[in-house]
Each structure stands twice: as structure tokens, then as C-alpha cells.
């Protein structure tokens, strides 16, 4: 176990041993596929793992310059370029903030880049972040690349769920499912690697609900926890305010789609906790610092109503 941990250490990733081992096996067998799909809930670390895999594929610190090592060395020029986000053979594609989808023009640019010879590395690596956000045109266009890939091209797709992609795309990618971490894994990592005090690490690990990416965000952005508390307190008061006020709140939230999504996610966890609290499983709730309010409200709301809210 300990040796395995050390051999994976070049990946610099908390948990996800199963996924990393899968990738290391394809590297060891020198059978790197043309396309991989990393799946799992938001903030679980899909993009990070795709980045680390890309770095390993491009690393020139191994014993044979023509073969990717099993673990990136984190020291060669290629590794440093990937880490600094300026490796010319690593291309990132994602939905533009002001657009609803990843567009066909972006996939066409990928195709012309992939037809080009690599500039420095042995491969041209493309990360398509949130591949489920491609519109149909873009997805069909990508399919052509997947059907007839250039020999040195590797595509790394991320999506919350494989079911969100076209079956024709799914059949041409190697799936790498990623799973939630335990709160103990997150707590330990926060204390040891981010030097978070035990009490705060405990709270963040509980709130992260298995998603290391969220935990790191909460450590790096003090506002996140303050904002969360304010949002939940506002949510707890919602049943007491008038219909007009509720519409005003809804309007305010929906004006910023990224924020609205974060709030809805928060609410989902809140109502899930409410179901747990109503079923007398308070110790399983995620919002550990607000268990008193949860308990009070759950006794008023009841199991049936709480479950209905989660589904809605
Ligand atoms: Zn390297």
C-alpha cells in the first residue's frame, strides 16, 4: 500500500487511486487510447486528473524520450510548461462564459490543430472540459476526429455523467469513472497539505460531500463559507417571507447563471439534509454546523414534504 502511494505521488492528486491506476496501466502497456472520458460530480477533480494525465503523456523526464513515463517527473521543461499552462501541444477547450454551448468552430479549430505536427512533445493532447456542453453540431463534428484520429492525438473529455454524451461518442472513448472521496480523506489532506486547522478541516470536509475540488476552493476563498452560511440562512427564512419577496429573490438569483447553479446545488444538499433530519438521521447530514436549524425545520416540514423538495 505504502509503495503504491509513493509510486503514484508524481500525480499530486488526493484519492482517486482507482482512476490513476487505470491510466498508469495503459501507460505501462504503452496502449494509450485516442480518447478518454473522465466522469463524476462537479468539483470532484475531473479536469485536474485530465491535466495530470496530459502532463504525464507529455513528460520528457522518463528513461526513454519516446515513451511517456508512468508518473510525470514534475521537473522537466515539458512538465513545467504544462503546470504553467503554456505547453504548445496541450490544448484546452471549454464553453465560453458568454455562450450556451461548446461550438462547432471550437471543434474545427481542434481538428486543424490535431492535423498539425506536434511542436515539442510526442503527442497533441486536447482537454475538452465539460464535453456534455457541446451542441449537436459540435458533437457530430468531434465524432469525425474520434472515428479517424491522427496517430499522435489524445483527447481527454470531462463530463458529470456518461449519459449526457452521444452513444456514438461514448463507444469511442475509454471511460474513467471518478468517485467521491470519504470526508476523512478530505479532512486528512486539508490538514496535511493545506495546513488547515482540525476544526475547520472537519467542517469543510463535511460540506465538501466527497468533492476535493470544492474543499480546496473553500480553503482558498474565505468568502465561500461566509456566502454559503448567508445563503442557507436566507433559505431557512424563505417559508416565512411573502410570495412577492420570494419572486424578487428568485429573480435576483437567476440573473447570474453560475451563481444560480451554485445556490441550487446548496439548496439540494440542504433539502437532502432535511430528509435525513426528518428521518432522525441528523448525524448523516452534510451541513454539520447548522444541525440545530435543520432539526427544528425538519420537525415542521416532515419527511414527505422534504422528499418532494429534493425531487423538485
Ligand atoms: Zn516531466
| pLDDT for 8 | 67
Q: Where are the beta strands (DSSP E) in 45-168?
A: 90-93, 124-128, 153-159
Distance 304 CA to ligand 1 centre (A): 55
Distance 57 CA to ligand 1 centre (A): 9
CA distance 308 to 301: 11
Distance 122 CA to ligand 1 centre (A): 13
Q: Which three cell numbers stand for residue 58?
A: 507529455
CA distance 101 to 93: 11
Least reliable range by pLDDT among 14-23, 250-259, 278-287: 250-259
Distance 62 CA to ligand 1 centre (A): 7
| pLDDT for 170 | 96
| pLDDT for 78 | 94
| pLDDT for 3 | 39
| pLDDT for 73 | 93
- Beta-ladder partners of 39: 159, 177
Q: Which three cell numbers stand for residue 256?
A: 447570474
| 143-157 pLDDT per residue, tens | 988 998 888 899 999
Distance 266 CA to ligand 1 centre (A): 39
Confidence of residue 227 (pLDDT cuts 50, 70, 90): confident
Confidence of residue 80 (pLDDT cuts 50, 70, 90): very high
Alpha-carbon torsion 120, 121, 123, 124, what sign?
Answer: negative
Q: What percent of the chain has pLDDT over 90?
A: 58
Distance 181 CA to ligand 1 centre (A): 27
> How are beta strands 124-128 and 153-159 bridged, if at all?
parallel
Distance 8 CA to ligand 1 centre (A): 14
Confidence (pTM): 0.82
Asked if residues 111 and 128 have their Cβ atoms less than 8 Å apart, the reply is: no
Residue with the larger pLDDT of the pair 276 and 309: 276
| pLDDT for 213 | 94
| 112-153 pLDDT per residue, tens | 888 777 777 789 999 999 999 999 999 999 998 899 888 889
Distance 295 CA to ligand 1 centre (A): 52
Distance 68 CA to ligand 1 centre (A): 9
Residue with the larger pLDDT of the pair 289 and 166: 166
| 159-211 pLDDT per residue, tens | 999 999 999 999 999 999 999 999 999 999 999 999 999 999 999 999 999 99
Distance 6 CA to ligand 1 centre (A): 17
Amino acid at each position: 500500500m505504502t509503495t503504491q502511494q509513493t509510486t503514484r505521488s508524481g500525480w499530486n492528486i488526493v484519492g482517486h487511486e482507482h482512476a490513476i491506476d487505470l491510466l498508469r496501466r495503459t501507460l505501462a502497456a504503452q496502449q494509450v487510447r485516442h480518447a478518454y472520458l473522465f466522469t463524476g460530480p462537479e468539483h470532484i477533480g475531473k479536469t485536474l486528473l485530465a491535466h495530470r494525465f496530459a502532463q504525464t503523456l507529455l513528460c520528457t523526464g522518463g528513461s526513454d524520450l519516446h515513451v511517456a513515463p508512468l508518473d510525470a517527473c514534475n521537473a522537466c521543461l515539458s512538465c513545467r510548461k504544462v503546470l504553467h499552462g503554456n505547453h504548445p501541444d496541450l490544448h484546452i477547450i471549454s464553453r465560453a462564459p458568454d455562450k450556451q454551448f461548446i461550438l462547432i468552430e471550437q471543434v474545427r479549430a481542434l481538428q486543424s490543430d490535431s492535423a498539425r505536427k506536434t511542436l515539442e512533445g510526442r503527442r497533441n493532447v486536447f482537454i475538452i472540459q465539460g464535453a456534455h456542453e457541446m451542441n449537436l453540431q459540435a458533437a457530430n463534428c468531434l465524432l469525425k476526429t474520434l472515428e479517424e484520429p491522427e496517430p499522435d492525438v489524445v483527447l481527454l473529455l470531462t463530463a458529470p455523467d456518461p449519459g449526457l454524451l452521444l452513444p456514438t461518442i461514448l463507444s469511442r472513448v475509454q471511460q474513467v469513472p471518478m468517485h467521491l472521496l470519504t470526508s476523512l480523506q478530505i479532512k486528512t489532506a486539508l490538514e496535511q497539505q493545506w495546513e488547515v486547522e482540525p476544526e475547520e478541516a472537519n467542517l469543510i470536509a463535511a460540506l465538501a460531500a466527497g468533492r476535493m475540488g470544492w474543499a480546496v476552493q473553500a480553503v482558498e476563498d474565505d468568502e465561500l463559507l461566509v456566502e454559503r452560511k448567508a445563503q442557507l440562512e436566507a433559505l431557512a427564512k424563505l417559508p416565512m417571507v411573502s410570495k412577492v419577496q420570494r419572486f424578487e429573490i428568485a429573480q435576483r438569483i437567476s440573473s447570474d447563471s453560475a451563481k444560480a447553479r451554485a445556490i441550487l446545488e446548496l439548496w439540494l444538499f440542504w433539502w437532502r439534509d432535511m430528509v435525513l433530519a426528518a428521518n432522525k438521521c441528523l448525524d448523516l447530514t452534510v451541513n454539520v454546523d447548522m444541525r440545530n436549524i435543520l432539526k427544528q425545520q425538519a420537525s415542521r416540514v416532515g419527511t414527505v414534504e422534504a422528499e418532494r423538495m429534493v425531487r423538485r
